[in-house]
Amino acid sequence: DKKITIAIDGFSSTGKSTLAKQLARTLGYVYVDTGAMYRSVTYFAMQQGLISREHFDKLSLIERLSEISLQFLFNPNLGYAEIYLNEVNVEAEIRTLDVSNLVSRVAEVSEVRARLVEQQKHMGDHKAIVMDGRDIGTVVFPDAELKLFMTASPETRAQRRFEELTAKGQQVTYDEVLKNVQERDYIDSHREDSPLVKADDAIEIDNSHLTIEEQFEKVMLLVQEAA
């Protein structure tokens, strides 16, 4: 089979990364989590005091974007790549609710998007890639052979995210998580630059009532048709 590009977009916590990792592992493709890139830029901005709940110094962040270097390094123990911000593994740091609460504001900034999208396009130069995010099928890989758009009810998604965070020992409530998921969906789908929308040629998958295995089997058939 020929190597293809698989673009996965959708709302927060719709299981994009679970599916993308399964596909990459099975197909021997590279998996790229673009949300991790926006989260890492947000974490940098937080560390530098450029953003908090109360203020956002957008101009300084834009000026300092050149200080940010992002890299994905494959971790053989996990079977997927982890993100490094200026040579430091920040996988744990970027998955907190604090980062989740600010990331959509950073992702609205066009200069941030332009930088990350450029890097993402390069990662796809040789195909054999599964990338997930919000604008992959629309902006990063408009010519992807397979585009998926994932949805699930907000409650299903908040419940999944809540279980994920508490399993990692984070102190959060279901209501906080639901609120975050709804807020991010709103900002992500209403921003001016590259809003979250289903590409015309994307296949929508509502997984509210699908198990991970059922979803995977369904998508593998689509991959076979596209490849």
Closest distance between ligand C5P and the C-beta of residue 44, in Å? 14
Taking the chain, what is the end-to-end CA distance rounded to the nearest angstrom?
6
Among residues 5, 12, 40, 180, the one that binds ligand C5P under rule CB under 6 A? 12
Among residues 23, 40, 109, 135, the one that binds ligand C5P under rule CB under 6 A? 135
**Is the separation of the CB atoms in 193 and 137 below 8 Å?**
no
Residue 13 is assigned to a ligand binding site: yes
Residues 54-113 that bind ligand C5P (CB under 6 A): 103-104, 107
Closest distance between ligand C5P and the C-beta of residue 195, in Å? 9
How is residue 208 written in tokens? Answer: 């509210």
Question: Strand 30-33 and strand 146-151: pairing?
Answer: unpaired
Residue 75, SS3? strand
Phi, psi of 194 (to 5 degrees): 50, 55
Among residues 20, 109, 188, 202, the one that binds ligand C5P under rule CB under 6 A? 188
Q: Between residues 118 and 217, which has the closer beta carbon with respect to ligand C5P? A: 118
Q: Between residues 168 and 217, which has the closer beta carbon with respect to ligand C5P? A: 168
Count Cβ atoms below 10 Å from residue 25 Cβ, excluding itself: 13
Among residues 102, 133, 149, 162, the one that binds ligand C5P under rule CB under 6 A? 133
Q: Between residues 34 and 215, which has the closer beta carbon with respect to ligand C5P? A: 34
Measured CA angle at 103 (ends 102, 106), to 5 deg: 95
Q: Answer yes or no whether residue 39 interacts with ligand C5P by CB under 6 A.
A: yes
Please report the DSSP string for 161-224 in residue order: HHHHHHHTT----HHHHHHHHHHHHHHHHH-SSS-----TTPEEEE-TT--HHHHHHHHHHHHH
Closest distance between ligand C5P and the C-beta of residue 137, in Å? 10
Q: Between residues 71 and 119, which has the closer beta carbon with respect to ligand C5P? A: 119
Q: Between residues 132 and 223, which has the closer beta carbon with respect to ligand C5P? A: 132
Sign of the Cα pseudo-torsion (119, 92, 159, 215, in order): positive
The angle, 0 to 180 degrees and rounded to 10, between the axes of the packed helices 154-167 and 174-190 is 120
Measured CA angle at 206 (ends 203, 211), to 5 deg: 115
Closest distance between ligand C5P and the C-beta of residue 34, in Å? 4
Among residues 29, 46, 184, 199, the one that binds ligand C5P under rule CB under 6 A? 184
Among residues 5, 14, 34, 207, the one that binds ligand C5P under rule CB under 6 A? 34
Please report, in range form, the residues annotated as the binding site for ATP: 10-18
Kindly list the residues in this chain that would bind ligand C5P in the complex (CB under 6 A).
Answer: 12, 34-35, 38-39, 103-104, 107, 133-135, 184, 188
